[in-house]
């Protein structure tokens, strides 16, 4: 990864860790799920309020995660608010491909936008699950799965 992207990655992670967006419970959410990453100890709750057409009108998260998990959840909520569940599935697949190295940042940048900086996670394989936990949890909430999500 070039140094510009690495620096951007570090800045973005720090910014979102210090002031996570949408870091709160929702009033009367339509969907919610819990996620846990035993490798790191990240715990996260994702709540969703659905609009009339089934789009994600409001998304909030709470919990205690490491910097990568918190930043990933924060940026995820920013990106998906107002999107449809189909958009969310596409974004979530692209994000997974990006952080696991199955796609290059340039290939998925059009889809992921700012989330493309998470290509930086690849250099720390143990952190991949920290970055994907919020997305797993989000999809579990959308699918109405009752059991808490675990990355293991
Ligand atoms: Zn973590």
**Cα(32) to centroid(ligand 1), Å:** 20
CA of 41 to the centre of ligand 1 (A): 6
**What values do phi and psi take at 93, rounded to 5?**
-65, -45
In a domain, 131, yes or no: yes
Tell me which DSSP letter residue 97 carries. Answer: H
Give residue 37 CA to ligand 1 midpoint distance, Å: 7
Q: What is the pTM of this model?
A: 0.94
Q: How far apart are the CA of 52 and the centre of ligand 1, in A? A: 34
Q: What is the pLDDT of residues 21-64, one digit of tens each?
A: 999 999 999 999 999 999 999 999 999 999 999 999 999 999 99
Q: What's 65's domain CATH number?
A: 3.90.1010.10
- Residue reference for tokens 């599935």: 89
Range of the domain at 51: 3-145
Domain count along the chain: 1
Let me know if residue 55 belongs to a domain: yes
């Amino acid at each position: 990864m070039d140094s510009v992207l690495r620096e951007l990655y570090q800045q973005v992670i720090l910014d979102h860790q210090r002031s996570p967006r949408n870091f709160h419970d929702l009033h009367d959410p339509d969907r919610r799920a819990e996620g846990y990453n035993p490798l790191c100890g990240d715990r996260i709750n994702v709540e969703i309020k659905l609009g009339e057409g089934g789009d994600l009108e409001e998304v909030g998260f709470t919990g205690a995660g490491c910097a990568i998990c918190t930043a990933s959840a924060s940026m995820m909520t920013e990106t998906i608010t107002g999107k449809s569940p189909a958009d969310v599935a596409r974004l979530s697949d692209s994000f997974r491909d990006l952080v696991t190295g199955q796609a290059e940042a340039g290939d998925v940048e059009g889809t992921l936008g700012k989330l493309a900086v998470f290509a930086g996670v690849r250099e720390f394989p143990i952190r991949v699950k920290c970055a994907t936990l919020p997305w797993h949890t989000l999809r579990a909430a959308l699918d109405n799965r009752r059991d808490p999500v675990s990355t293991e």
